[in-house]
């Protein structure tokens, strides 16, 4: 682990897995301006790693993240300036996560509220402990969502259902979140860490160039004809990679492929 008071980061060159841990457990990992800056630094360090194959984001202690640190909003410059100082690095970080080639996994236990909810939904895979809880939280303060929550909610459950959540602000348990399509999988609390590790290992061992192309194809879509052309170009490019050659050879030989990410 790299020493950092509010965010821990670790990269394993053997597996290509980068792990980012929100590390303010006494405050339920609530995000203030210092933590936001640290998070941006950790994300930038991860996405710039050679050999990156997967990013995992998690929270230390009994929460994933309780959102913005409301207590810090009363700074000398006023709430608007304090919130903007948090959002500038956080939004830069979530854009990096969206645009990076490697798949992103968020491992959620305990509460994920406000910006914590938004950050959880930045994962391509949102893996959740059965005791996890989600809340929009913004409207309780008379605020509005940030960190891409309106984008993520609308894409996962549709605009109408997303608006219901934003306005009603229900407390959503893990099982309900799974039923709604907000999260990818729910695991028992006692086996959560092991289940996440197994899922992440499988992702990291996969054809990461193909994964990156899939993420890019889904991120920006135009007309149907334009999307067909983008799909054609992506598949032709993939067919020229070593990973595709290995996957084809493994399929024909009826063995497990050994992807290299090239």
Residue 259 resides in a domain: no
Say if residue 170 is in the same domain as residue 74: yes
- End residue of a domain, out of 204, 222, 237: 204
Looking at the fold, whether 192 and 215 belong to one and the same domain comes out as: no
What pLDDT is stored for residue 222 in this prediction? 79
Please indicate, yes or no, if residue 1 is contained in any of the structural domains. Answer: no
Q: What is the CATH number of the domain that holds 223?
A: 1.10.12
Place of tokens 């092991």: 194
Same domain, 248 and 196: no
- Per-residue pLDDT, 78: 80
Q: Which residues of the chain have pLDDT under 50?
A: 1-3
262 in a structural domain: no
**In a domain? residue 24:** yes
Q: What is the pLDDT of residue 22?
A: 98
Could you tell me if 53 and 146 lie in one domain? yes
Query: Are residues 222 and 142 part of one domain?
Result: no
68 and 165 share a domain? yes
184 and 214 fall within a common domain: no
Domain hosting 230: range is: 208-253
Counting the structural domains of the chain, the total is 2
> Within a 10 A sphere around the Cβ of 3, how many other Cβ atoms?
6
- Do 73 and 98 fall within a single domain? yes
- The answer on 174 and 110 residing in a single domain is yes
- Predicted pLDDT of residue 138: 86
Listed residues 187, 204, 221: the one ending a domain: 204
The length of the chain is 262
Q: Does 183 share its domain with 74?
A: yes
Summarize pLDDT for 163-193 with one digit per residue, the tens.
Answer: 999 999 999 999 999 999 999 999 999 999 9
pLDDT tens digits, one per residue of 202-244 = 999 999 889 989 988 887 777 878 878 887 888 888 888 898 8
Per-residue confidence (pLDDT) for residue 2, from 0 to 100: 46
Is the domain of 102 the same as that of 227? no
């Amino acid at each position: 682990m790299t020493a950092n008071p509010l965010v821990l980061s670790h990269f394993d060159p053997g597996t290509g897995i980068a792990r980012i841990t929100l590390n303010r457990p006494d405050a339920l990992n609530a995000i203030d301006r210092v933590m936001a800056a640290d998070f941006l630094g950790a994300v930038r360090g991860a996405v710039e790693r050679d050999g990156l194959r997967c990013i995992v984001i998690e929270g230390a202690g009994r929460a994933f993240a309780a959102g913005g640190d409301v207590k810090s909003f009363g700074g000398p410059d006023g709430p608007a300036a304090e919130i903007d100082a948090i959002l500038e690095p956080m939004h830069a970080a979530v854009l990096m996560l969206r645009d990076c080639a490697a798949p992103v996994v968020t491992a959620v236990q305990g509460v994920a509220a406000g910006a914590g909810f938004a950050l959880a939904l930045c994962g391509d895979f949102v893996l959740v402990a059965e005791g996890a809880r989600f809340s929009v939280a913004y409207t309780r303060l008379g605020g509005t969502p940030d960190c891409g929550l309106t984008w993520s909610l609308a894409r996962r459950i549709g605009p109408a259902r997303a608006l219901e959540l934003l306005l009603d602000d229900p407390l959503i348990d893990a099982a309900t979140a799974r039923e709604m399509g907000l999260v990818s999988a729910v695991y028992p609390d006692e086996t959560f860490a092991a289940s996440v590790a197994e899922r992440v290992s499988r992702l990291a061992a996969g054809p990461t160039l193909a994964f990156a192309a899939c993420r890019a194809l889904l991120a920006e879509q135009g007309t149907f004809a334009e999307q067909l052309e983008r799909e054609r170009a992506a598949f032709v490019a993939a067919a020229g990679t070593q990973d595709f050659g290995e996957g084809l050879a493994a399929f024909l030989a009826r063995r497990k492929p050994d992807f290299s990410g090239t």
